[in-house]
Amino acid sequence: MQLPNTDPTADIAKTLGIGKRRSAFSRIIRLILLIALVAGLAAVVLPRLKNDNTDTTHYTTQPARRGDLLVTVNATGTLEPIKKVDVGIEVSGTVKKVYADYNDAVNVGQVLAELDTSKLEAQMLQTDAALSATKAKLLQTQATVLEAQAQMARLEEMRRLSNGKMPSQYEFDTQKATLARAHADEGSAKASVAQAQATLDANKSDLAKAVVHSPINGIVLTRSVEPGQTVAAMFQSPVLFKLAEDLTQMELQVDVDEADVGQVKENQDATFTVDAYPDQMFSARTTQVRYGSQTVDGVVTYKAVLKVDNSDLALRPGMTATASITVNKRENALLVANAALRFKPPQTSAAGKGGGSSLLFKILPHPPAAESTQREDPNAKSKDQQVWILRDGKLQAVAITKGLTDGKVTEITSGELEPGMELVTFAEAPK
């Protein structure tokens, strides 16, 4: 016979209904958790499904067109007169007068300045007196020569008449030596005269050079002397004036980079600007490309000279100019933007391609997909290349052959490309 349950705790729980309440509470907890799980799944799946519905790549395009292409080389330099002369002085002294000033027009032979010539004039008088003294000395030696020659002739005649008995040999030899010394003194006197004459000519030249004359017809660019100033021409001639022959014709000397110098030649058109007239374009033409190089901060450049017409005298020597030299040009060429040549179709990761559209892949957490990358084109430097167009929303390659480029657009010399065709320049992947 089975005894009845006599557990007092079970009887009390049964009496109070505690077991039923705990079961109802557990069901409520399970319901809340289920609702939270469904809401979480919805928050994850719905945005992914929405993105899948709009998962399209946006492409930016530019059309191919006909137009003129100018290939230019840029360089900077300074404007200079075609002929510029530094006028100096070869003698030292104190500046007495200055007759020319900045911007003055001067002619050949015009006096620009002069030194105080009192000292030079005194030196010239001194050398002139020395020349006169040497000339007198020469006359004296010449008279001595004549006297010695006459005495020698007398002794020779005496020897002839006496059949060699008179004069004695010693007397005869002594007279020959006297005549030779007289000739030597005459030669020395003549050399002294020549020396004194040369010194006088040098002093006259210095006196003439104390007056500075203009060597050309031109304009005074710089004046570096004032009245009362002392100039010393000991080791080098001090520069007093800088003259420009003709400012209506100038030259622009620019530094061309070694990578571009092969394209720059004589008789090429160019344009340039200067800071003084930023909105004005000036014309020029290349006249010379020099072979000598110069290296500044490790950069090798070559000097190119451009001829500039400056009839209105707007340009001034020393101005810094930025020149653009036209080294090649094409008319009515088929042109495409360089961005289209650089574009390559995006390549996505393998994980994004496999299983990326399944519902399970969208629901389950996973690492973010790799961003689209562009493959490096091994033929980027080749003339033969391909560009991309859109047909029915899909990319299609078009083979082309490149020509000249100005850095922004490139000439297409052959291929199936036609004007007006839209070329893809950029692809924006969906987010």
pLDDT at 360 over 90: no
| CA 88 – CA 240 distance, rounded (Å) | 5
Q: How far apart are the first and last CA of the chain?
A: 78
User: 99: pLDDT confidence band, cut at 50, 70 and 90?
Assistant: very high
Element (H, E) at 373: strand 373-374
| Per-residue CA distances from 44 to 36, 38, 90, 364, 414 (Å) | 13, 10, 96, 9, 52
Q: Residues with Cβ < 8 Å from 9, sequence gap 6 or more? A: none
Q: Are 111 and 253 in contact (CB under 8 A)?
A: no
Range of weakest confidence among 19-33, 159-173, 213-227, 368-382: 368-382
- The Cβ-side half-sphere exposure at 103, using a 13 Å CA radius, reads 2
Would you state the CATH architecture of domain 83-115+215-245? Beta Barrel (2.40)
How sure is the predictor about 406, in pLDDT bands with cuts at 50, 70 and 90? confident
Q: What integer pLDDT is reported at residue 178 of this predicted model?
A: 92
- Residue from 202, 186, 197 nearest 131 by CA: 197
Residue with the larger pLDDT of the pair 149 and 18: 149
Return the pLDDT at 219.
92
Domain ranges for the chain: 8-52, 56-67+335-428, 72-82+249-329, 83-115+215-245, 117-209
Tell me the pLDDT band of 8, cut-offs 50, 70 and 90.
low
Instruction: Tell me whether residue 106 is exposed, middle or buried, using C-beta atoms within 10 angstroms of its C-beta: 0 to 12, 13 to 18, 19 or more.
Output: buried
d(CA 44, CA 39): 9
Distances 342 to 267, 374, 379, 388 between C-alpha atoms, Å: 34, 10, 11, 10
pLDDT of residue 20: 52
Q: Are strands 111-115 and 211-213 parallel, antiparallel or unpaired?
A: antiparallel
For domain 72-82+249-329, give the CATH superfamily: Efflux pump adaptor protein, beta barrel domain (2.40.30.170)
pLDDT digits (tens, 9 = 90+) for 273-283: 999 999 999 99
User: How many degrees, rounded to 5, is the angle at CA 81 between CA 76 and CA 87?
Assistant: 130
**Chain segment 219-268, per-residue pLDDT in tens:** 999 999 999 999 988 777 889 999 998 899 999 999 999 999 999 999 99
Q: What is the mean pLDDT of residues 351-368?
A: 48
Residue 76 has pLDDT above 90, yes or no: yes
pLDDT value at position 355? 45
Strand order, beta sheet including 211-213: 211-213, 111-115, 93-98, 230-231
Q: Which two tokens stand for residue 190?
A: 């003549």
- What gap in Å lies between CA 151 and CA 157, rounded to an integer? 10
Q: Exposed, middle or buried by CB within 10 Å (0-12, 13-18, 19+), for 360?
A: exposed
Give the per-residue pLDDT at 345.
86
What is the chain's mean pLDDT, rounded? Answer: 84
With bands split at pLDDT 50, 70 and 90, how would you rate the model's confidence at 21? low
Question: What pLDDT is recorded for position 365?
Answer: 53
Lowest mean per-residue pLDDT among 73-82, 316-325, 396-405:
396-405
Question: What is the model's pTM?
Answer: 0.63
**CA proximity to 116, closest of 215, 232, 235, 230:** 230
Nearest to 133 by CA among 189, 171, 82: 189
User: pLDDT-based confidence at 322, cuts 50/70/90?
Assistant: very high
